[in-house]
Amino acid sequence: MQKLVFKQKFLLLSCAGMIIIIGGRVLGFPALPYKPTRCTGSFYSHWSYTAACRDAVPDIGKRELTEVYCMRKTKIICTLGPSTDKEGVLRELIANGMNVARFNFSHGSHEEHLGRLEKLKALREELGKPVAALLDTKGPEIRLKDFKNGVENLVAGQTFTLTTRDVEGTNEICSITYKDLPMDVEPNGTIMLDDGLIKLQIQTVNDTDIVCTVLNNGKIKNKKGVNVPGVHLSMPYMSQRDKDDIIFGIQQGYDFIAASFVRTAQDVYDIRNLLNQYDSNIRIIAKIENREGVNNIDSILAAADAVMVARGDLGVEIDFTELPGIQKTIIDRSFSFGKPIVTATQMLDSMIVNPRPTRAEISDVANAIYDGTSAIMLSGETAAGAYPVEALKTMSAIAERTEQEGFHLRGRTMDSNPGKISVSDATAHAACLTARDVNAAAIVTVSESGTTARLLSKYRPQQPIIACVMREQVQRQLSLSWGITPLMMSLAHSTDELIEMSTALAKENGYLHNGELAVVTAGVPVGVSGTTNMIKIHMVGNCLATGVGVGPENNDVASGKACVCRTMDEVRAKFKPGMVLVVPSTSNEMLSFVRDAAALVVEEPGLNSHAAIAGKALLKPTVVGAAGATSHIRDGLMVAVDCAHGSVQRLQG
């Protein structure tokens, strides 16, 4: 027996077999051994069933049900490095849900990064996963150069000198990468080494040397970071190395640039201008890592495509007690601008050396998701840790469980007034509200650039967002956005073709099934980017008749062979127990047959009609007002009667 977690609806047995509604999904099973059990959670139940059941589910094919119904909406970024270079590790990361692969250009050569990128491209093609590639720039950072022994011990009270001269590092002196640092600092200032693990107080400064007193014991290694809290550095934002790295990223097909140490919107524009020179569509993630970035967050959000709360350097550059509040503020402002937000650094830091996270780390990941982060990131855990795959699985499990909670995204409701917004934004907002109101199985959008899908993601709908796009880079870039499943689709030439192609694609991939409602949004006229202005409620599959559903709970579903009768004599001659009775109207003479039917479909309208009253009294799934049902439904055809949607659907076979 295998267990899966599904959103519970209703279970109904009939002679024709078993129908399960899962989140509005109509699944037809033959009569097979099963054991329904209820878990303690308020939103989910466990259905145990034999492996044979999975093979009996129509429309899903070879896809695992767990993949279809247990989709994690919060995305995960994994940093590549020596640990992911080991045999099979990168494949495992992709297979276990890595959405974006991060390449840290603070370390490594272009040749080293290219080798990893080519491996990523080959594996994502083989596995059919649109994993995006993210180039994280070195940025205007300061680092120590090398020590003679690779590592030195510093003792509280000793003197330690940072110099722009080229010297061999010892426990008394070490060279730094920024030659103008002596001009930017003053005596009595503070310098932090290695993410703040070692604190120095400046004593004297000359043209080349900064003489400091060590304030705490610690080990220091080659190329560790140097932070100067509260000091505006005069160094230019984009160095020649960063320019070379970005051009390399353009040439090799990266999808994102994570811009380190962004201070102002102009820093983002500088990178954008370089990308425009090469006609590149790479998207920019602004990393907030210092006080200036925090102070200028609104203008940075307006300029960038996404932002990242890079808590490592940020927690050194500012008072660490401010960090939780700043994280929440940046996430909140990102919502206001409708931009994806990444929470990063030390999320599962202990898993660099341990196979299990600390309880505090579990809460840290969960709280970022509660706050509404779009994505969470693993750094050293996957790049250099002993348990890279386990770290990803752990983070994914925490995210999936957290997303089930009733207070997930509390306050991030689509009911709140979004203020004055564009037509495209208003259409996305309305699509999310509509999907909720009609209990749609998914929101399907067709988007040239991915903008519509991101607007939908902004409102955090309960339904999955299926984004049908025409370009592979757009598909990969949407892998960063909350709740979006991007699929590749060929170009449609009309609105009707667009709706049919997109919903068929979602159905083919297991995200929609016959009898479900999908809210489709796109732009009219077709093919014109930036014109999202259309919403359609679309029923998936072969809908034979529609009307008004009535039943004991008004949302039952049943299936069976259709028994189409226009007279009472036909009912007596043709009907067998377990069939779906399809008639123009009912009478008292027909009640014994209705009692033995799997469901009732009647052309006569009205909730006070004889059929509606009989269906409720006999606890039969019933659709009334199904105009033309006796003409459109073929006798003996296998059908599903869905009271929730008031529809009669043709089943496979």
- How far is CA 86 from its chain centroid? 27
Task: Tell me the residue type at 292.
Answer: E
| HEC sequence for 246-292 | HHHHHHHCCCEEEECCCCCHHHHHHHHHHHHHCCCCCEEEEEECCHH
Structure tokens at 401: 């469980």
Let me know: does 396 contact 76? Beta carbons within 8 Å. Answer: yes
Instruction: Write out the H or E segment, with its range, that includes residue 114.
Output: helix 110-127
Pairing of strands 159-163, 209-214: antiparallel
To the query of whether residue 345 is one of the catalytic residues in this protein, the response is yes
Q: Please tell me the distance from the alpha carbon of residue 601 to that of residue 578, in angstroms, as a whole number.
A: 14
CB neighbour list of residue 86: distance below 8 Å, 6 or more residues apart: none
Q: Please tell me the distance from the alpha carbon of residue 76 to that of residue 402, in angstroms, as a whole number.
A: 14
Rg, the chain, Cα only: 30
Let me know: does 455 contact 428? Beta carbons within 8 Å. Answer: yes
Structure tokens at 155: 């003792």
Q: Please tell me the distance from the alpha carbon of residue 320 to that of residue 229, in angstroms, as a whole number.
A: 11
Task: Tell me the residue type at 184.
Answer: D
φ/ψ of 4, rounded to 5, equals -130, 155
Q: Which residue has the tokens 């984009």?
A: 238
To the query of whether residue 102 is one of the catalytic residues in this protein, the response is yes
Spot the catalytic one: 54, 129, 143, 224: 143
Let me know: does 177 contact 145? Beta carbons within 8 Å. Answer: yes
3-state secondary structure of 619: coil
Please list the residues that pair with 444 across neighbouring strands: 466, 520
Structure tokens at 535: 């919403």
To the query of whether residue 7 is one of the catalytic residues in this protein, the response is no
CA distances to 27, 44, 424 from 443, in Å: 20, 21, 15
Let me know: does 288 contact 309? Beta carbons within 8 Å. Answer: yes
Spot the catalytic one: 84, 345, 402, 427: 345
Structure tokens at 96: 């276990």
φ/ψ of 228, rounded to 5, equals -125, 90
Q: What is the DSSP letter of 86?
A: S
Q: Please tell me the distance from the alpha carbon of residue 235 to that of residue 225, in angstroms, as a whole number.
A: 16
Q: Please tell me the distance from the alpha carbon of residue 180 to that of residue 207, in angstroms, as a whole number.
A: 9
Spot the catalytic one: 199, 287, 339, 458: 287
User: Rounded to 10 degrees, what is the CA torsion of 497, 499, 504, 509?
Assistant: 130
Q: Please tell me the distance from the alpha carbon of residue 34 to that of residue 31, in angstroms, as a whole number.
A: 9
Let me know: does 468 contact 445? Beta carbons within 8 Å. Answer: yes
Let me know: does 463 contact 506? Beta carbons within 8 Å. Answer: no
DSSP H helix total and E strand total for the chain: 22, 36
Structure tokens at 398: 């925490």
List, by residue number, the catalytic residues.
102, 143, 287, 345
